[in-house]
Chains A and B, each alone.
Chain A
Amino acid sequence: MRLLEYQAKSLFAEYGIPIPKGLTSTDIEQGRKDANALGFPFVIKAQMAVGGRGKAGAIQKCHNADEFELKYPEIMQKVVKGEKTKAILLEKMADIKKELYLSLFLNRGKRCYTIITSSEGGVEIESVKSQIIREVGLGNVDAKTAEEVGKEIGLKDKSLAQFVDILQKLSKVTVEKEAELAEINPLAILKDDSLVALDGKVIIDDNSMFRHDELRKFQEISELEEKAEKSGFSLVELDGNIAVVGNGAGLVMSTLDMLSDHGGKPACFLDVGGGATTETVYEALTLISKMKKVKGILVNLYGGIVKTTTVATAFIKAYENKVIDIPVFARMSGSEADKSKEMLKGSRTKMFDTIEEAINAAVIEVNKNG
């Protein structure tokens, strides 16, 4: 779960990491109140889970009420890399002397957390050459380590002491909230040598959420995705018109790739999971029926523990109850595949021996129907 900037900053504030004064709103009326409370000038920042907001005009300075009336609605309408503005943060401007980079990051390859810090902040860290990287096991950072990396990026005196304090607090956020990433970019040094977190990016380990009820308020998934999660399968909504269904995340991804290679446009990724039953597959089809853009369903099943007949039964039931009325293109291999073919004869589910054939037919049919 990726937190929005203001959510990450609320965690920072809870742990004592300094942040600029700011207020968050989702409509202009509240925004005006926030503007009055904060006082001009300030920065208007679109809250969206994506990088590159500055370049895209989703972060703008605002000096007076006239500007506010223009810019607030403009930024509210922004879409950057497909992400819409979820809320707006108004934030006091800081008197910046220098910008640093600081993060704690789960290094999957090394299987430990790493501190990444740099004397160059405010840009994407991938583009920065002078990075200091330090492995820190499960994410705990002691004062000595914090001081060492602080010195390595050239800090001293007051700034160094503050850096040590912030890094240790960031480590606490990471460990206690079970974050895969906690990033401050930029971490600004102000004119008086004090430090402040100008931005915040925190990604929480979804699998640890059962221990973190306090973070549920930040969870934002679409209604359909939430329903899918409750039924035990994973759903990712996409832009196209062919729903892709299968068992196993890898197999569904692979089907998505092949469909795209053939010029098809996936409408969703739906993994019914290893424990699929007739009921859960029926539930999955019900979800898909609610996605109006879907013009066809592509099914790729490798029947093993889950029998293909389990799935075939769900399709027959879905047609009978008129849950779906669009064509289905299916490849079912493995356990009881022949029986499934027999069962689905004469229905709107067309069966194919290979996934390649099923994809071809799906793309042709869906394109034909516009």
Chain B
Amino acid sequence: MVDLFELLIGKEGENDYKKKPVIVQGITGKFGSFHTQQMRAYGTNIVAGVTPGKGGQKIEEIPIYENMKDAVSATGAKISIVFVPAKFFLSAAIDALESGIKLLIAIPEHVPVKDALTVVDLAKKKDAIVIGPNTPGIIIPGVIKIGIMPASPFKPGRIAVLSRSGTLMYEVSHNLSLANFGQSICLGIGGDPINGTPLIEAFERIRNGTNVDGVVVVGEIGGDAEEMLAQHIIDTKFDKPVVAYIAGRAAPKEKRMGHAGAIIYGNYGSAESKVSMYAKANVPVAKRPAEVPMLLAGKMEKGRIK
């Protein structure tokens, strides 16, 4: 299995240690070009862009290629971030995975389930990691930002944040930073019903990180990702502190609450079901985002940045 931290940071001594090359798919769009600037300003090493029909051109000195095969062979990048509209996501993702991309960050919202399942299937065959769709991306504060999150909420540190929601990832990280709990990684799972990397798998990828002292899981109603994670924490006797938050306790049933994945059918996906499973796993659930650092402080004394 490819190691997430190694893909994102690399190993000390490597030429591109902490400067891993990243390709932007859909780099010439309004959204893609704006965030390319933002990521670069944060220090992310954007080496190429892909926009069919604009191969050979440049955008702010970044070369643009017709397709991922050309971009990958020119740069050797293993990471790409996708900004194309939802209906073009499937072909962009196939292009990336077939060209050797090992970490694909899928930003688009409104990707059909069928397309997401197809990409999940291909990623398995290629031993690649897909984050999203409908994710804000990944940030390792102070090192690399591959996503659309603002930089200000995040501070370097030793807490991993996994989130099904974008703004709540910012809000919770902001609260953690204020309480001097910096973050080793913040990863957006995505708000869709089908995730390239489901919560439980994201958890597996970060749990043994030597830079991870504790985990904050920001969830919401819909599906059973939190229930599965809670069971997994019990089964694997995970002994680092975990604190959770769940949005949507007051949401009505059978109504899609903004995110495609945030919908309750019967008891499936309800907040009560998630809270009760977390209780079994001894994971405290915050009532509001500002409570997260307090609960975390109760579970641990180390991990604070001075």
Contact = CB atoms under 8 A, between A and B. Distances in A.
Interface in B194-245: 194-195, 198, 218, 220-225, 228, 245
A178 B218 CA distance: 29
A334 interface: yes
A258 B288 CA distance: 7
A236 interface: yes
B167 A251 contact: yes
Interface string B108-134: 001111100110110000000000000
B166 A124 contact: no
Interface string A84-106: 00000000000000000000001
A234 B164 CA distance: 17
A63 B78 CA distance: 70
A234 B191 CA distance: 14
Contacts of A112: 117
- By size class, the interface of chain A is 35 or more
A124 B149 contact: no
B258 A271 contact: yes
Interface residues of B, number: 63
Interface in A326-368: 333-335, 354-356
A215 to B, nearest CB: 13
A250 B251 contact: no
B198 A252 contact: no
Contact of A109 (B31, B163, B225, B256): B225
B250 A106 contact: no
B113 A266 contact: no
A205 B114 contact: yes
A356 B290 contact: yes
B91 interface: no
Contacts of A236: 252, 255-258
A355 B266 CA distance: 30
B31 A256 contact: no
Most buried by A among B255, B258, B267: B258
B167 A247 contact: yes
B288 A246 contact: no
10 contacts: A108-B225, A175-B114, A249-B258, A251-B247, A256-B250, A259-B250, A269-B258, A304-B153, A333-B174, A355-B288
Interface of A: 2, 49-51, 82, 106, 108-109, 111-112, 124, 126, 137-138, 175, 178, 180, 205-208, 210-211, 234, 236, 238, 246-254, 256-261, 266, 269, 271, 274-275, 302-305, 333-335, 354-356
Given A106-B194, A206-B256, A251-B171, 4 more contacts: A109-B225, A208-B112, A250-B165, A251-B167
